[in-house]
Structure 1
Amino acid sequence: MGNIRLICTDVDGTLVLDDHKSIPEANMEALLGAQETGSKLALVSGRGIFSQKSFIKTLGLDRHKGYLVAFTGARIVEACGMRELYRMPIGMSDANALWAHVRPLGLDVMVYDDDRGVIFATADNEYTRFDQKVTGMSFEKTDRIDPSLGFTTFKCIIAGSPSALDGTIASVKEKFSEGFEITRSSGVFAEFNKKGVSKGNAMLMLAEEMGIDAGEILAVGNGENDASMLAAAGMSAAPADSMPEAKAAAKYVCRKGNGEGALAEAISYFNGMRPII
């Protein structure tokens, strides 16, 4: 597989179609072929481990000893056996402070019990139902986000209309940037991870564990939360319909968009280092 020793791909908007579960045939063939010829594969997603497990057998991650990187880099596990290599949770007291701040602003908060596959959210609305559909997790409404929930969360999401988030995200970042990494994963979601957590940092930690240099990594992603790994990898690509931050960080912007085999295009491009016709 040329000099690509590790492929790190985002899931939603990069690996799968807009139904958030189906993998285009071109992407499937490219990833299976890459693993057969020696490349390792890591799914690097904002999703938790629970909602990535369905891809393990489909993509051969168990047979080829691949990896799942979850919650934007806050957890890393081996796909075969689920051995945890890294974890960086958010304290529920910190999540409580975030919830208390955004509640008067009309924004909703979601936290995740990854072991049980449950989303806890302060509202039952189009945003929480969408996240439930994407992740395949069950849902419980809660009137507070605090340690009484009784589990460890690795990520908080605040959700609201694009105009509501646009109007408040700057002040939220100003107040919480010392303790959180804050990125927009879409127009309606902003993600909060423990300070220092990012897809880029997780990718480099995993590569070091494997004895792989950054120059031997291909990273592919479409969102603002992918920009750190796109910038850190020696080879990186963003689908044509990616967010501006992803395009700016990528070494190559695909001609194809999500659903058209952009991931396969990226693998082919860097494997041969030539334009895709």
Structure 2
Amino acid sequence: EGEYVKTMFFGDTAEIDEVEAALPAEFYEAFSIARSQNYLLEIGAKNVNKGTALLKLAEDLGIARDEVMAIGDGNNDYDMIQAAGLGVVMENGTERLKGIAKEMTLSNENDGVAHALEKFVLKNKQ
């Protein structure tokens, strides 16, 4: 349907801090900007993010929003967690993400995704 361009800046935390601080305020109005990790800054098209993609996929599959679960740990997951009927954040997730989580799961190192799937998806199937 169209093109989607995403720019990513990788570097140590101090370098990415500098890049982020140098972005003009207009960029935040014109683009989707997320600091997904301390060393990673992502800039993409406005209103194109994991949340809009999740809702579009659910619509195409005929799945109601309240039947959708999303699991994330980084700030680039914010829109996805917010869009899902059940937003689950990893124990090692960012504080910003934890602030909107409906549920928490174990960390990446402790199989948090599997734990969330067992708890919220498979609970009625066992």
Give the direction of change, closer, same or farther, for the CA distance of 1:177–1:234 in structure 2 (3 Å limit).
same
- The question of whether the paired residues in 2 share the 8 Å contact of 1:199 and 1:228 is answered with yes
2:33 alignment partner, one of 178, 182, 193:
182
User: Which residue does 2:117 correspond to in 1?
Assistant: 267
User: Which residue does 1:242 correspond to in 2?
Assistant: 93
After TM superposition, the structure 1 = structure 2 runs for residues 10-29 of structure 1, keeping only pairs within 5 Å, are none
- The one-letter amino acid paired with 1:188 is Y
- The one-letter amino acid paired with 1:160 is G
Give the direction of change, closer, same or farther, for the CA distance of 1:169–1:259 in structure 2 (3 Å limit).
same
Distance in 2, matches of 1:173 and 1:245, equals 22
2:51 alignment partner, one of 181, 190, 200:
200
Cα displacement (A) at 1:269: 2.1
Cα displacement (A) at 1:160: 2.7
Distance in 1, matches of 2:80 and 2:57, equals 12
- The one-letter amino acid paired with 1:185 is S
Distance in 2, matches of 1:203 and 1:87, equals 18
Instruction: State the SS of the aligned residue for 1:250.
Output: coil
Distance in 2, matches of 1:245 and 1:88, equals 30
Identity of aligned pairs, percent?
32
Which structure is higher in RCO with an 8 Å CA cutoff and minimum separation 6? 1
Cα displacement (A) at 1:168: 4.1
After TM superposition, the structure 1 = structure 2 runs for residues 214-225 of structure 1, keeping only pairs within 5 Å, are 214-225=65-76
Asked if 1:251 is matched to 2:94, the reply is: no
- The question of whether the paired residues in 2 share the 8 Å contact of 1:227 and 1:250 is answered with no
> Per residue, is there more helix in 1 or in 2?
2
Distance in 2, matches of 1:196 and 1:240, equals 27
Cα deviation code 1:167-195 (max 9, x no counterpart) = 44144151422321100111011001111
Cα deviation code 1:104-136 (max 9, x no counterpart) = xxxxxxxxxxxxxxxxxxxxxxxxxxxxxxxxx
For these two proteins, the number of residue pairs brought into alignment is: 123
Asked if 1:232 is matched to 2:83, the reply is: yes
User: Which residue does 1:53 correspond to in 2?
Assistant: none
Give the direction of change, closer, same or farther, for the CA distance of 1:206–1:169 in structure 2 (3 Å limit).
same
Q: Normalization by structure 2: what TM-score?
A: 0.86
- The one-letter amino acid paired with 1:164 is E
User: Which residue does 1:109 correspond to in 2?
Assistant: none
Cα displacement (A) at 1:247: 1.6
Distance in 1, matches of 2:82 and 2:100, equals 5
- The one-letter amino acid paired with 1:230 is I
Cα displacement (A) at 1:260: 1.4
